[in-house]
Amino acid sequence: MCPAMIEFDRVSLQFPTASHPAVHQVSAHIKAGEVVVILGPSGCGKTTLLKLVNRLYEPTQGQIRLEGVPIGQINASPLRQKMGYVMQQSGLFPHMTVFDNIAVVPKLLGWPKAQIRRRIEELLTLVELPPSHYRHRYPAQLSGGQQQRVGLARALAGDPPILLMDEPFGAIDALTRASLQTEVLRLQAQLQKTILFVSHDVEEALRLGDRIMVMNQGEVVQCDTPLALLTHPATDFVHRLLGADDRVRQLSLLSVARVMTPWNPGVVDGHNIPSLGPDQSLRDALSLLLKTGTNALQVTQDGQAVGLITLNQIRAYAQQV
């Protein structure tokens, strides 16, 4: 088996002044290219776990390995070059322009000026901040959402394989937060980083995580896919935290393709039936059925009818999961 990108091996951290360990006996394998959301209530140890990965903290017990190598054997500086860090309040230097903020790591790496300029143009374009508009601005001249985009660009600057994201959208309004989440999904499809993403927002975790690591009081209670957590919560705590009784939430994780029946033009006349795509969620389908007051939807791909989905099928499926 190839070594995990990041492996937690019975990791604990007991702060000297605290009565309980902030992180207790955490074991987990994070695969390359995976997005793992660390989810849990305030004070459960999420940020501490993240800071153990880039050696801002050292464990009092156990070990973290990066591609099989104990991180205690890697100097902090080369270790951190492998990990972009995005914080809740972007953490941009207020006296530096957007350009200079993003250039910090490439300059540390000793890149030639022309390469740094090219990289910054590329990154600003990637996070959808047109360089000519934004490169000379100071952080105070940006909205919170724009600052987080710059924070993301800065974390990506040295092209690290790992991103550590500590509640990066926690202080952002719901609409901007949703668009930044979409951005992360888009970037991830393109860049395939290994991402550890701290959140206390269940919807955000369900949306972004390939897996969700649920923490409570310093311990990992369950680490699994969003659907597995919702359908098979290991404990009552996970059940309540995830809102596992919420059927609509479950439907949001299941695709139309899972439930539809193949399109049969002999049975249904496709005219005037609302349509949606096979990759859309059952929640989208339910919403469209309710909005249009119909009982069935046509599933289309590349302009071709490929399936049919009905209210009864969704209801039957929701009762099974």
Contact set with ligand ATP (CB under 6 A): 15, 17-18, 22, 40, 42-48, 200
Would you say 15 or 93 has its CB closer to ligand ATP?
15
One-letter amino acid identity for 176? T
Would you say 17 or 190 has its CB closer to ligand ATP?
17
Phi, psi of 230 (to 5 degrees): -75, -35
Tell the smallest beta-carbon distance from residue 41 to ligand ATP (Å). Answer: 7
Q: What is residue 292's DSSP assignment?
A: H
Q: What is residue 21's DSSP assignment?
A: -
Counting Cα atoms < 13 Å in the Cβ hemisphere of 237 gives 12
Cα 216 to chain centroid, rounded: 19
Tell the smallest beta-carbon distance from residue 64 to ligand ATP (Å). Answer: 15
Cα–Cα distance for residue pair 19/14, rounded to 1 Å: 8
Would you say 18 or 248 has its CB closer to ligand ATP?
18
Tell the smallest beta-carbon distance from residue 198 to ligand ATP (Å). Answer: 6
Would you say 48 or 281 has its CB closer to ligand ATP?
48
Cβ atoms 38, 195 nearer than 8 A: no
Would you say 43 or 72 has its CB closer to ligand ATP?
43
Tell the smallest beta-carbon distance from residue 47 to ligand ATP (Å). Answer: 3
Cα–Cα distance for residue pair 321/316, rounded to 1 Å: 9
Tell the smallest beta-carbon distance from residue 201 to ligand ATP (Å). Answer: 10
Token pair recorded at residue 180: 């930044």
